[in-house]
Structure 1
Amino acid sequence: MTIQVDPIRRNLKFGLPKDKAISWNPAGLHVTQFFNTLSIFFPAGERFFIQSVRNYRKEIVGDDLKEQISAFIGQEGFHTREHEEYNDALVAAGMPIEAMDSLVVKLLELVKKAPRSFQLAATVALEHLTAVLGDVLLRNDGLLEDVDPHFSAVWRWHAIEETEHKAVCFDAYEQVMGKGIQAYGLRVGAFVLANLLFWSLYVPFYTVMVAKGGGLLNLKGWGKVLNLTLGRPGVLRRALPDWLDFFRPGFHPWMHDNRHFLAMADALVEEVANFDVNQAKAA
């Protein structure tokens, strides 16, 4: 692909109001916890992504890609910090985040014992997943309609930057591993395994989060999140073709050219600059 997008480090602080941690979305508890459960994975996951690409940093050639990797690491570092604060808000709301985060950490420690090529392939795989999820968010304005502005901003920021750097690790992988059948097989195998592990954790984590929020027996809430993801509008169901494109031998992340969403970044930065972070934290 000839498309080149250079990630930009945006050191934003959102001051998420802790008293709204499980009520920030007016669509209800089940939808709110759908997002909140994703946040559980990010601190450990982002640190793993950073390390997996650092494993090859000395072997990367080309100033452009080196700078993109450096910016990717910066972005992921800021994501880690803000989602740690996000998860602290969930802990304050009585959610068992620490136990679930510990499980994610232990799983990734096992992955770190695999060859570094597999670690990078797993990062490439999960970066595609986060890019698809980010695109889902940016394409569907209604997902964050009328929600608390701090939580809306943190999710839009993360989605924009996942879009912005979605090809960085992929390009690094192709440079160090090549484009042959062995490289293809490794990235596809890692993709299948990474998705199986992620969703096998996400579903029970999400169930626990809903139960702890008091919504386990709320059938209307379950129906709402099922419609959102799989029914109508079915945002995850409609994103399935993009997700499946990863299996194409000639796949590249920018074959899904959604660069126009990056134009939203400047307005978002200005929006966040107007937040009273200290007041939000005290709420």
Structure 2
Amino acid sequence: MMPVRRDVHPHLPASRISDWHVRGRHVTHFVNALSIFFPAGERFFMDSVRAYRDDVADPELKRAIAGFIGQEAMHTREHILYNRLMSEAGLPAAQLDNTVARLLNLLRRILPRSWQLAHTIALEHYTAMLAGGLLADPDQMGGSEPGYHQVWIWHALEETEHKAVAYDVWNTVMKPGLYRYLLRTFTMLTTTATFWAMVFVFHVRLVMADRECRNKLRGFGGVMWFLWGKPGVLRRMIPEWFDYFRPGFHPWDHDNRVELERIGPLIAEIEETSRRAGVSLRAPSIRGSF
């Protein structure tokens, strides 16, 4: 697959930032917590892949790297705007984003570039799993506010389109053998523990900061049902998570490229939603974002 940079700007109504998901505020804030990771996270992904660009000779993979970086830059821009809506609503998105940025800056300082790329391919597998589940199961977001639904579907489609790029760079620049396998799998274990612990904390912080969120503690039961019951967002990821530990694993072993046929209609839908809302189809420039 060859990733394509698309300059799209879904319309996100500011008034709905805390309750856009059809399942209510608690699930909304779980998904919002994921958004907080993307600006700093996508920059880290771009940097870790870019660090090896000159080591790649294959012209097709070089083109894919350029497309990967272009897509991640657009995702970064849109999630900066998304997260800004949370901050303007009184939610601690900016502080939490700074926490992610500080952690990733620490990894940049202390880890060799191979370990940084290992973290990237682990997290890219997570984004691919989350994206694949969202695209396959309309129950995850069906009936939610259209603009927020669109931004997540667009992001999921492009994550699917480029899901193997960082991994192909990894296989190209890392010498095959036990060390490559152990580094890849060990990093997935540490990434899993760290990432989900932070998601849990961020989710709680968002819920507790939302003054209009009622039954704060009881509402977490609904989130657990969403994640592990029905639709079982995390439960359904378990087989793919284990598949990552297979020695011959490749992201396209789970071939869901048929979903990419939705990109054209989705972009037309985004443009129509924005036109009806009377907003620009292009996002404002954000200096220093990338």
* TM-score above 0.5, yes or no: yes
| SS of structure 2 residue aligned to 1:106 | helix
Which region of structure 1 is more displaced relative to structure 2, 191-200 or 243-252?
191-200
Matches within 5 A, 1:1-283: 5-113=1-109, 114-214=111-211, 215=213, 217-276=215-274, 279=278
CA deviations on 1:86-143 (whole Å, 9 max, x unpaired) are 0011111110011111110010011102100000111001000110010111111022
Measure how far apart 1:62 and its partner are. Answer: 0.7
Measure how far apart 1:280 and its partner are. Answer: 5.5
Measure how far apart 1:216 and its partner are. Answer: 7.1
Q: Does the CA-based 8 Å contact 1:34-1:206 persist in structure 2?
A: yes
How far apart, in 2, do the equivalents of 1:206 and 1:41 lie?
Answer: 12
Q: What is the RMSD computed on CA atoms of the aligned residues?
A: 1.5
Q: Does the CA-based 8 Å contact 1:25-1:32 persist in structure 2?
A: yes
CA deviations on 1:184-211 (whole Å, 9 max, x unpaired) are 1111111111222211211111011111
| SS of structure 2 residue aligned to 1:250 | coil
Q: Does the CA-based 8 Å contact 1:134-1:162 persist in structure 2?
A: yes
How far apart, in 1, do the equivalents of 2:279 and 2:208 lie?
Answer: 27
Q: Does the CA-based 8 Å contact 1:207-1:216 persist in structure 2?
A: no
How far apart, in 2, do the equivalents of 1:191 and 1:239 lie?
Answer: 14
CA deviations on 1:250-276 (whole Å, 9 max, x unpaired) are 100001111111111110111112133
How far apart, in 1, do the equivalents of 2:216 and 2:82 lie?
Answer: 25
Between the aligned residues of both structures, percent identity stands at: 44
Measure how far apart 1:220 and its partner are. Answer: 4.6
How far apart, in 1, do the equivalents of 2:274 and 2:263 lie?
Answer: 19
Gaps of 5+ in 1: none
Gaps of 5+ in 2: 281-290
Residue identity opposite 1:211 in structure 2: M
| SS of structure 2 residue aligned to 1:274 | helix
Normalised to the residue count of structure 1, the TM-score between the two structures is 0.94
How far apart, in 1, do the equivalents of 2:122 and 2:3 lie?
Answer: 19
Moved over 6 A (4+): none
Residue identity opposite 1:63 in structure 2: P
Q: Does the CA-based 8 Å contact 1:16-1:280 persist in structure 2?
A: no
| SS of structure 1 residue aligned to 2:144 | coil
Measure how far apart 1:228 and its partner are. Answer: 0.9
| SS of structure 1 residue aligned to 2:229 | coil
Normalised to the residue count of structure 2, the TM-score between the two structures is 0.92
The number of aligned residues is 277
